């Protein structure tokens, strides 16, 4: 198996629930093809260097996973068909990867945040943000 990193840019007006749904669908595709998702990281909303589909901003996500080549083509096909995805790019990080060792390495660095943990963190930040607004 190879290790891949896929970065994709989603529409900026999508809600957190819609973004979590996209990530859950992608995680399911990786697992369906006997792959392993190491982490799914929300890199935040950023300005684009140029207009893409009439958008000037986008929400960036990074997926790091190990899978066979067929999984990558299916994942990219899914991203291509989803109209909420502006762009995506997949790169090979390693030709051969020991899945258990890589997972342990990522956990040791504290990066092993799954899609569900990402959603929980975002919910906590929203609640915290609402509390700060009310106090002002």
Task: Report which of residues 125 and 11 the model is more confident about.
Answer: 11
**What is the average pLDDT across 69-93?**
89
* Lowest mean pLDDT across 40-44, 89-93, 119-123: 119-123
Name the token pair of 84. 């909420």
Taking 80 as the threshold, does the pLDDT of residue 116 lie above it? Answer: no
In angstroms, the Cα distances linking 112 to 13, 59, 64, 93 are: 27, 20, 10, 17
Chain centroid to CA 4: how far? 12
Coil, strand or helix: which one is 21?
helix
Provide the percentage of residues in the chain whose pLDDT is more than 90: 20
Chain centroid to CA 76: how far? 13
User: How many domains would you assign to the chain?
Assistant: 1
Mean per-residue pLDDT over the chain, rounded: 80
115: domain CATH number is 3.30.70.60
Backbone angles phi, psi at 8, to 5 degrees: -135, 155
Task: Report which of residues 128 and 60 the model is more confident about.
Answer: 60
Which range marks the domain in which residue 46 is found?
Answer: 2-135
Q: What is the pLDDT of residues 7-58, one digit of tens each?
A: 999 999 988 889 888 888 988 888 888 888 888 888 889 998 888 888 889 9
Which residues fall within 8 angstroms of residue 92, CB to CB, at 6 or more apart?
Answer: 2, 3, 4
């Amino acid at each position: 198996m190879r290790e891949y990193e896929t970065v994709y840019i989603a529409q900026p007006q999508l809600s957190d629930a819609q973004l979590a749904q996209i990530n859950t669908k992608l995680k399911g595709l990786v697992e369906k093809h006997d792959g392993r998702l190491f982490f799914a990281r929300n890199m935040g909303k950023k300005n684009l260097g140029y207009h893409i589909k009439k958008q000037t901003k986008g929400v960036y996500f990074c997926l790091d996973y190990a899978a066979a080549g067929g999984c990558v083509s299916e994942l990219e096909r899914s991203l291509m068909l989803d109209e909420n995805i502006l762009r995506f790019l997949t790169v090979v990080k390693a030709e051969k990867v020991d899945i258990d060792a890589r997972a342990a390495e990522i956990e040791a660095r504290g990066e092993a945040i799954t899609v569900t943990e990402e959603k929980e963190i975002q919910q906590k930040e929203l609640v915290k943000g609402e509390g700060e607004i009310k106090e002002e």
